[in-house]
Amino acid sequence: MPTNTIRLHRVFNTSPEKLYRAFLDADAMVKWLPPNGFTGKVHELDATVNGRYRMSFTNFGTGHSHSFGGKYLELTPHERIRHTDEFDDPNLPGEMQTTITLRKVSCGTEVHIVQEGVPEAIPPEACYLGWQESLILLAKLVEPEIPDAPNP
C-alpha cells in the first residue's frame, strides 16, 4: 500500500523552548493543531518516551469527528520530537511517523517537520494545506510576548 511523505519548513520568531512546549501541551495543541474549520480535543497525553497520546478533530460545520493517536518515540527537550500516528478510521490504515526538529537561529527557531507514511487516501496537497493552516495558528500562539499582569 503506497504512502506519502510530507516535509515542512518554517521559521518562528520565538524560542525553541516555547515551540517544544506547544507540541506537547494538551491545551496548546487544541488551540493550534486542528486546521481551519475544526475543533480539537485531547483525550490522552503522556509526553514521555513510550508514552501515548490520543486526540480527535471535529468538523465544526458538520459535527463529523475523526480520531487518531500514537506513541512518543523520541523527546529531546527543545530540539526534537518523534512520534507515531494512526487513524482510528479503517479506511486510513497504517502507521505514520512524524519528526519535528527545532533549531535556534538568529531570528528565532527553525522548524522542520517530516511526516512519513501518510495514507494514500489522503492527497498530499490536502496535508500541506492543513499543516499550513495549523502552522499559522501555531505562530499566533507562540510568537506574541505577553507580559504577566502585575499582582495587585
**Residue 102, domain CATH:** 3.30.530.20
The structure's pTM equals 0.93
Q: pLDDT tens-digit profile of 7-60?
A: 999 999 999 999 999 999 999 999 999 999 999 999 999 999 999 999 999 999
In a domain, 26, yes or no: yes
In a domain, 99, yes or no: yes
In a domain, 130, yes or no: yes
In a domain, 103, yes or no: yes
Q: Do residues 14 and 143 make contact, with C-beta atoms less than 8 angstroms apart?
A: yes
In a domain, 148, yes or no: no
Residue 94, SS3 per DSSP: coil
For the chain, strand residue ranges (E) read 3-12, 38-45, 52-59, 65-76, 80-87, 96-105, 108-119
Domain count across the chain: 1
Q: Which domain holds residue 122?
A: 3-37+76-142
